[in-house]
A and B are shown apart, each in its own frame.
Chain A
C-alpha cells in the first residue's frame, strides 16, 4: 500500500534558524509527484513546493527547498531563515500514477517558530 509518513507531530525552531520537516513514503511506482502544503490556523491549504520523481535537481521556492532522496524514499522540507509567520501545520503529500491526481497526505507536522 502507498503511504506517507511524517514522524514529527510537532517541531520548534527559533526565528531566523533553518528547520527540516521529515517526510518518507512507500511506493513501488516509479513515477510520482511530491508536494508540501502549509496550513495556518485559519485553515486554508497553501501550496509550497513540488518535486517530480524524475526531476534531477531538488526543488527550491524562495526559502523552501525539498531534500529529495529517491533511494531512501524521503522528501524532507527545509525552511531557511524561519519567520514567525511560518508557524503552521505542514503536510507532505504525494500523487501516484495509479491514482490519477488524488493527493495522499501525511498526518502533518506542527511547526512553532519562537523568538
Chain B
C-alpha cells in the first residue's frame, strides 16, 4: 500500500509569510506525528495526534506553530509569520496505534526555506 506522503516536497517562502504543510498518513493508522529536522541535526518532536486529538502541544516551538488533523487522516502543520530559524525539513510519521512498540513510518518530508 501507499506510504506516508507529504506536500509540498519543497517550500520557499519569505520571512513573515504563513505556510501550510500537509501530511497524508498510511490508511488505517490512528496515530500521526510531526517532527522537525534542522540541517545536520537529529529529529525534534513537535506534536502527535491520536485520532483527531492532540493531547500534548508542548513540543511546538512557539505559538506561531499549530497543527490539526481531520477525519483521522490528513494533517496540516501551519507556521504563521515564518522566521528564518523555521527553515528545516518537517517530517510526518504515522503508526497503526499509539504505543511504544509501534514502528513509526515516516514520510519524505517537506523542506522549508525561509528567506
In the assembly, what is the distance between CA of A37 and CA of B100, in Å?
Answer: 15
Bin chain B's interface residue count.
Answer: 20 to 34
Which of B41, B45, B102 contacts A102, CB < 8 Å? B45
Number of A-B contacts (CB under 8 A): 65
CB A32 to nearest CB in B, in angstroms, measures 7
Across the interface, name the chain A residue whose C-beta is closest to B3.
A44
Which of A12-20, A45-53, A62-70, A79-87 is the contact stretch?
A45-53
CB atoms of B102 and A101 under 8 A apart: yes
Across the interface, name the chain B residue whose C-beta is closest to A6.
B42
Contact with B along A32-44 (1 / 0, CB 8 A): 1101010000111
Q: Contacts A43-B89, A50-B101, A95-B100; is A105 near B43 (CB within 8 Å)?
A: yes
CB atoms of A101 and B91 under 8 A apart: no
Contacts of A31 in B (CB 8 A): 100
In the assembly, what is the distance between CA of A42 and CA of B109, in Å?
Answer: 10
* A24 touches B (CB below 8 Å): no
CB atoms of B42 and A100 under 8 A apart: no
Q: Which one of B35, B55, B101, B109 has the highest number of Cβ atoms from chain A below 10 Å of its Cβ?
A: B101
Binding site for B on A (CB under 8 A): 31-33, 35, 37, 42-47, 50, 52, 91, 93, 95, 97, 100-108
